[in-house]
Amino acid sequence: MSLRIIGYGAYNLCFDKLWGKGPNDSGPDFFQFIRNGKWPINAVKVICFRKSMIEGLPPRRAIPLFNSQKKLNPDFLTNLDQMVGRAADLGFWVQICIFSFQSVALSSDPSKWEFPENVPAELDPTKLGTNNCDRLRKFFGTKDETTFKATKMLAAQIAWAVRWRTNIIWEMGNEVRIQGCDANTAKDATCDIVAWYDAMWDRVFGLIEPDQAPHTMSTGVENEQVLWTTQRPFNGCANETYGADPYDFHADQWNYAGDYAAGMDAAVQRMQNYGSPRELTINDDGAKPDSLRTARLQAWAGAAFQRKLWYLSKQQYPPGQLFDLDALNALKKANDAHPLT
């Protein structure tokens, strides 16, 4: 894929029947607003297995993943397909992330839980164990037959709904990892993530247009090598790994020492060592607000573009909050300063 991807992440846009129009249900949608402002954004990331209203989407506009009968909501699938079509019409890629670590790992505060409304029992994190170790192993693994079957089915149904769309970058899971286990259990469970990921991608890839199927997976420092190193066995993991097309490195994987430029160079080198060279995405996880935030965002994106890398930023959007114009302008300035050649 010889192009530059610049993403403005609106994770819950797939649940919004108005696709990011203003709080009063008026004005341009997410994609038209970006185009009207002539910002160079050409990608958005959405997460399907997530609470629909967690980012301020009002109930009147929300189309959750599951309906009141705890079945996959056909209206959600229709909205997702039409949203991807709308994105294509205005020159956007959509990174469809099916699952998310944050929707399975539960905090001690139930108000912060991110799993979907009306979730069926076989996918309900509260029913998969009393701690995050058990929940994550069962959900992102192959050994609990009931949950494994349910995750494969959900992935297949989502893929089938958008099977003809050619502007999708697939992501099986956002930051999928195992936490809360003892060392031996964590090692076995992390190896099983590889088998889980391969099974998910097999189901999706078998249903979509094969020539238009880039896929990625975001993860963290602790299991980056396990998921992407092609030489097996690796650290005791014998399962084959598919790797990915655009690798998606979140902040701690390229800015872990506070030196983002050197960190990006190191990330590129690691990526090349894992197997055949691929695209690399620098994901800022949403630059934290402070007085230097805009300059920092522009510097990070500029460093990525200087290295011919992709860049994804997670920022606010309607109807929950207005667009972050400072972030959009910072990305434009970085892009203009480092034109793609």
**Which residues, including other chains, have CB under 8 Å from residue 319's CB and lie 6 or more apart?**
16, 18, 20, 21, 22, 23, 25, 56, 57, 58, 61
Which residues of the chain fall below pLDDT 70?
Answer: 1-2, 276-277, 289
Tell me the β-bridge partners of 169.
95
Q: Is residue 292 in a domain?
A: yes
Q: Tell me, what's the pLDDT at 139?
A: 98
Q: pLDDT tens across 154-195, in order?
A: 999 999 999 999 999 999 999 999 999 999 999 999 999 999
The pTM (predicted TM-score) of the whole model is 0.96
Which helix (H) or strand (E) segment is 172 a member of? Answer: strand 168-174
Q: Is residue 112 in a domain?
A: yes
Q: Tell me, what's the pLDDT at 285?
A: 85
Q: Tell me, what's the pLDDT at 176?
A: 95
Q: pLDDT tens across 327-338, in order?
A: 999 999 999 999
Q: Tell me, what's the pLDDT at 277?
A: 66
CB 115 within 8 A of CB 49: yes
Q: Tell me, what's the pLDDT at 35?
A: 98
Q: Is residue 154 in a domain?
A: yes
Q: Distance between CA 191 and CA 177 in Å, rounded?
A: 10
Which helix (H) or strand (E) segment is 162 a member of? Answer: none
Percent of the chain at pLDDT exceeding 90: 82
Q: Tell me, what's the pLDDT at 2?
A: 64
Q: Tell me, what's the pLDDT at 219?
A: 82
Question: What range defines the domain where residue 152 resides?
Answer: 6-337
Q: Is residue 1 in a domain?
A: no
Number of domains in the chain: 1
- Report the amino acid identity of residue 75: D
**CATH label of the domain that carries residue 332:** 3.20.20.80
> Can you count the helices (H) and strands (E) in the chain?
10, 9
Q: Tell me, what's the pLDDT at 1?
A: 53
Helix-helix angle 145-161:132-139, to 10 degrees: 60
Cα–Cα distances in angstroms (integers) from residue 280 to residues 217, 287, 308, in the given order: 11, 19, 9
